[in-house]
Amino acid sequence: MTDTIALIGAGNMGLALAGGLVKGGHAPRSIRVADTVHAAAQRLGDTLGVTVCHDNATALAGASVLVLAVKPQQMRALTRELSEVPGLAQMLVLSIAAGITTTTLAGWLGPATAIVRSMPNTPALIRRGTAALYATPEVSAAQRALATVIMGAVGQVHWLEDESQMDAVTALSGSGPAYVFRLLECLEEAGVDLGLPAPLARALALETVGGAAALAQGSPLSPSVLRVQVTSPGGTTERALQVLNEGNLDELFQRALRAARDRSRTLAEEFGVP
Ligand SMILES: NC(=O)c1ccc[n+]([C@@H]2O[C@H](COP(=O)([O-])OP(=O)(O)OC[C@H]3O[C@@H](n4cnc5c(N)ncnc54)[C@H](OP(=O)(O)O)[C@@H]3O)[C@@H](O)[C@H]2O)c1
């Protein structure tokens, strides 16, 4: 891919995206990075060899894609500034900001703008992320392919046809790493409670969750079939699962994800206020 990418925002996600693209073979010089904290952009320049720009307009000049990687609450001011930059109408705008709809972005950037909205997650930092993407009708097939390459540099990519599903995606995979970290905490604490030394309990929990996820990912069998396979009748796993079911684990997760989805909707409404 030879496209020039303007990346605004050199924080955690900006670093992950630039790093993933460079590792994936994208020419570092054709990634132009700008950040109000110049030292943050410079850090990417020093570590990855990307082009560091002193202002956003310089980063945008001649770029075919503009990646917006600032915090959601900073997006309005940034897009207002960028909407004046010549050539924006020919660019793909790729936003990774949580909770900001394409309608809101088009209101800030101009209605003809080609916009892809993406919801990634933090394993993108180690190129093991998963992201859902939604494109406005203005986005061409070539621009869709470009967005797939950019987000694919840090993990798996799933296209949505209905933007309203983005709130559910946010609830499942956007916030999801925190649920897994919580599970790891619970397993470690329960192991310590049974008398295991804390470092051993942590290692066993981490290796079990990582190993089970890898097994499920590499298997043609569904997670429920894999679960049944390790659950001998009358055995230890069956006893533990019985306790989890009595605690209504399914319902608890449904409630948790519904709460996250509702919060995502509320945030989107708040950001959308003109
Ligand atoms: N991290 C996650 O788990 C995650 C997951 C999914 C999606 N996202 C999305 O990814 C986006 C970036 O998150 P992050 O954690 O990487 O944020 P971050 O660490 O705050 O990085 C954003 C950077 O952009 C800079 N900036 C702000 N306004 C700017 C402007 N007008 N022009 C140029 N630079 C500007 C910020 O500077 P200041 O420090 O001065 O503000 C900061 O250095 C967010 O919208 C978030 O919703 C993050």
Alpha helices (runs of H) in 174-222, residue ranges in sequence order: 176-193, 198-218
pLDDT at 1: 65
Q: What is the 71 CA–ligand 1 centroid distance (Å)?
A: 4
Asked if 129 contacts 136 with a C-beta cutoff of 8 angstroms, the reply is no
- CATH number for the 5-166 domain, one of 3.40.50.2000, 3.40.50.300, 3.40.50.720, 3.90.1150.10? 3.40.50.720
Q: Which residues pair with 34 in a beta bridge?
A: 8
Alpha-carbon dihedral angle through residues 165, 168, 172, 173, given to the nearest 10 degrees: 40
Q: Could you identify the atom of ligand 1 that is nearest to the CA of residue 118?
A: 7
Asked if 51 contacts 34 with a C-beta cutoff of 8 angstroms, the reply is no
Domain boundaries in the chain? 5-166, 174-266
SS3 content of the chain, % helix, strand, coil (to 5): 60, 15, 25
Kindly state if the Cβ of 230 falls inside 6 Å of ligand 1.
no
Please report, for residues 26, 133, 192, 214, 224, the alpha-carbon distance to residue 218 in angstroms, rounded to integers and kept in the order given: 28, 24, 31, 6, 14
Residue 199 to residue 90: CA distance in whole angstroms: 54
Q: What is the 127 CA–ligand 1 centroid distance (Å)?
A: 18
Per-residue pLDDT of the chain (274 residues; tens, 9 = 90+): 679 999 999 999 999 999 999 999 999 999 999 999 999 999 999 999 999 999 999 999 999 999 999 999 999 999 999 988 888 889 999 999 999 999 999 999 988 899 999 999 999 999 999 999 999 999 999 999 999 999 999 999 999 999 999 999 999 999 999 999 999 999 999 999 999 999 999 999 999 999 999 999 999 999 999 999 999 999 999 999 999 999 999 999 999 999 999 999 999 888 876 6
Count CA atoms within 13 Å of residue 71 on its CB side: 3
Mutation test residue for ligand 1: of 8, 71, 94, 166, the one with most atoms within 8 Å of CB: 71
pLDDT tens-digit series, residues 75-116: 999 999 998 888 888 999 999 999 999 999 999 998 889 999
pLDDT at 274: 62
Among protein residues, the one with the nearest Cα to ligand 1's atom 45 is 97
Kindly state if the Cβ of 13 falls inside 6 Å of ligand 1.
yes
Asked if 201 contacts 192 with a C-beta cutoff of 8 angstroms, the reply is yes
CA angle (147 as vertex; 144, 148 as ends), nearest 5: 85
Kindly state if the Cβ of 135 falls inside 6 Å of ligand 1.
no
Asked if 103 contacts 136 with a C-beta cutoff of 8 angstroms, the reply is no
User: 174-266 — its CATH code?
Assistant: 1.10.3730.10
Kindly state if the Cβ of 122 falls inside 6 Å of ligand 1.
yes
Q: What is the 35 CA–ligand 1 centroid distance (Å)?
A: 9
State if pTM tops 0.85. yes
